Homo-oligomer: A and B are copies of this chain.
Amino acid sequence: MDKYGMLCENIMVVFVEPETPGNIGFLARTMKNFGMERLILINPCRLEDEAYYHAMHARSIVDNAEVYPSLKEMLKALNPDFLVGTTGVPGGSYNVERIPLRPSQLSESLNPSASTAILFGREGDGLSNNEIDLCDVVVSIPTSREYPIMNITHAAAIIFYEIFRGREFPCEGLEEASGLEKNLLIDEMDNVLSLVDMPEHKRRVAARVFRNILGRAFITAREAHTLKGVLRRIKNHLKDV
């Protein structure tokens, strides 16, 4: 199993005292979007239809959620190696002097083979000071000063995205052209430019611009192939002139 498979197995997503069933559903869906399955609910509201409706294809995660009456009970029963707290208000809201990690720093500090519990909650008040104190690290999302408080499931989506951002992107055969292919294309463009009547310094600028655009354009191997064919034909025509 690769690193990301291990993370999927070893991460528990813990929702502390959720108040709205819809958020449980959205959290479950977002977990499944990134391949995680293990949801733990601490003293949750009643699971109503909305939880299942918003979960969409992640209903089984809601069905299989483990429920504990308190965070303490959960920690006693499951004893995770690494406890991550999430907060929307870095600094001000609690007394522990601790730099909240950015999601990208959290991602770097996770050990894929350790059991990790990530705490989210509560919708209204966030995690308590005592809960934050228990955590090994606290993570916070850099947001606007004017309105920093995100919906909990949107914050979760960003954190999950960061944890799994290095995973290979399923792209169904569309792959970016390699450096070699791009260079062949640049050579072909240089050939064309050498056959066009223009001052040397303008030719250099044009070659530079072509190179820059290719660099930014994330073109596919097939697109590179097509373009190269076009340039070769242009070159041949120019030679005939």
A contact residues vs B (CB 8 Å cutoff): 26, 29-30, 32-35, 54, 56-58, 90-92, 97-105, 109, 140-151, 153-155, 157-158, 161, 164-165, 167-176, 216, 218-220, 222-223
What's the least CB distance linking A231 to chain B, in Å? Answer: 18
Across the two chains, which residue of chain B brings its CB closest to A58? B147
**Which of B99, B149, B171, B219 lies in contact with A33, CB distance below 8 A?**
B149
Q: What residues of B have a CB within 8 angstroms of the CB of A35 in the complex?
A: 144, 146
Across the two chains, which residue of chain B brings its CB closest to A57? B147
A142 to B222 CA separation, bound complex (whole angstroms):
22
A150 to B57 CA separation, bound complex (whole angstroms):
10
Across the two chains, which residue of chain B brings its CB closest to A140? B169
Please judge, given known A-B contacts A142-B165, A142-B167, A164-B142, whether A174 and B33 are in contact too, CB under 8 Å. no
| Known A100-B174, A105-B218, A157-B157; further 18 A-B contacts with Cβ < 8 A | A30-B154, A32-B144, A33-B143, A33-B144, A33-B147, A56-B149, A90-B171, A91-B172, A91-B174, A98-B220, A99-B174, A100-B171, A104-B165, A109-B216, A142-B165, A150-B157, A153-B154, A154-B157
What's the least CB distance linking A77 to chain B, in Å? Answer: 28
Across the two chains, which residue of chain B brings its CB closest to A90? B171
A21 to B103 CA separation, bound complex (whole angstroms):
29
Across the two chains, which residue of chain B brings its CB closest to A36? B144
Q: What residues of B have a CB within 8 angstroms of the CB of A223 in the complex?
A: 97
A169 to B91 CA separation, bound complex (whole angstroms):
11
